Structure 1
Amino acid sequence: MPLNPLSATLSEGQKLETLKRFRAKYSEELAKLEAEMQEILTSISEADFLAQYLGEQPEIAELRSRKGELEAKEKRRQYLGKIIDRLDASIPQQAPVAVQPPAGGKAGLRRY
């Protein structure tokens, strides 16, 4: 006797939390990617600077060879930006909850 297939449905709250969780995940990836890109850009700038004084050395050529890697990372960065924008547009804005701060009265406090 075959068993019924399993299925799952998400409540509205679960859907919203999923969108928020993936937005945070992509934001973290974007920050990490931008740090890597900054490192590559710095090494390319250093290579250009050193080339003025040392000419084309193997080490300088190695630093400059990362331009292809930079282009691939830039494509991924643009793609992540589009995903994050789309998630931001999909996540409904919630009104802030207005909670009164607790009163600073004496409410049963005793001083000794």
Structure 2
Amino acid sequence: MGEVGKLIERLESAPRGDFGLDHDVHVALNLSRDRLDGLKRADLPEITTSLDAALSLAERVLPGWNFSMATGVGTDGPPWVQAYPVPFDEDNCCDAEFAETLPLALCAAILRAKEQAS
């Protein structure tokens, strides 16, 4: 499993988002430098804790993609997000990503879609 796959697993198993995960997602998407030295919280959007920030990231790095998401309505399951291109192409649909929060699941779905699209 590559580095992106390991990061997706970390997002899926994290109890909550944090600055370190925000940074690692930005690095994986080539949007930030590789080191945390001197980087401040204000330097990065809180994509693993804010659904608005995660959606903004999705629009930025995956233009032309849509995302289905749910919070386990009617079940005891965790939140999930699935990415798919528009127009819909079943062959390029990504599997749903599950995590403790929607922002974490969305970040995992973004990474999975970027990985699959490349």
The two structures share one fold, judged by TM-score above 0.5: no
Q: Larger % of helix: which?
A: 1
Q: Larger % of strand: which?
A: 2
Q: Which has the higher contact order (CA 8 A, sep 6+)?
A: 1
TM-score (norm 1): 0.24
Which one has a bigger Cα radius of gyration? Answer: 1
TM-score (norm 2): 0.23
